[in-house]
């Protein structure tokens, strides 16, 4: 939604409604997830990617990305090599 607010992406539908209709479970970013950001190394400087990495680590969830910087973290990664 940040990209949409900056005019870099057009979102002409309700993404929450669409995700739920597709059977996706919505995942909130918790204080426990955020607490990991303090000690997370700065292999990746993108704030939102760091939040995804922290969330993946906190919950022991897999994360899907082809961004090579994600491999620098001890997260469970699914991506193209």
Domain that holds residue 73: 2-78
Spatial separation of the C-alpha atoms in residues 43 and 50, rounded to whole Å: 9
CB neighbours of 68 closer than 8 A, spacing ≥ 6? none
pLDDT beyond 80 at 67: yes
Render pLDDT for 13-42 as a digit per residue (tens, 0 to 9): 999 999 999 999 999 999 999 999 999 999
Going by the DSSP 8-state scheme, the letter that residue 67 receives in this structure is -
User: If you average pLDDT over residues 49-53, what whole number do you get?
Assistant: 94
Q: Helices marked H in the chain — which ranges?
A: 2-5, 15-21, 31-35, 47-59
pLDDT beyond 80 at 51: yes
Query: How many domains does one find in the chain?
Result: 1
């Amino acid at each position: 939604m940040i990209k949409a607010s900056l005019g870099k992406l057009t979102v002409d539908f309700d993404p929450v409604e669409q995700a739920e209709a597709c059977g996706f479970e919505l995942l909130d970013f918790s204080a426990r997830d955020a607490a990991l950001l303090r000690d997370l190394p700065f292999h990746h400087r993108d704030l939102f990617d760091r939040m995804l990495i922290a969330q993946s680590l906190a919950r022991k969830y897999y994360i899907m990305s082809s961004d090579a910087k994600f491999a620098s973290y001890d997260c469970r990664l699914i991506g193209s090599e």
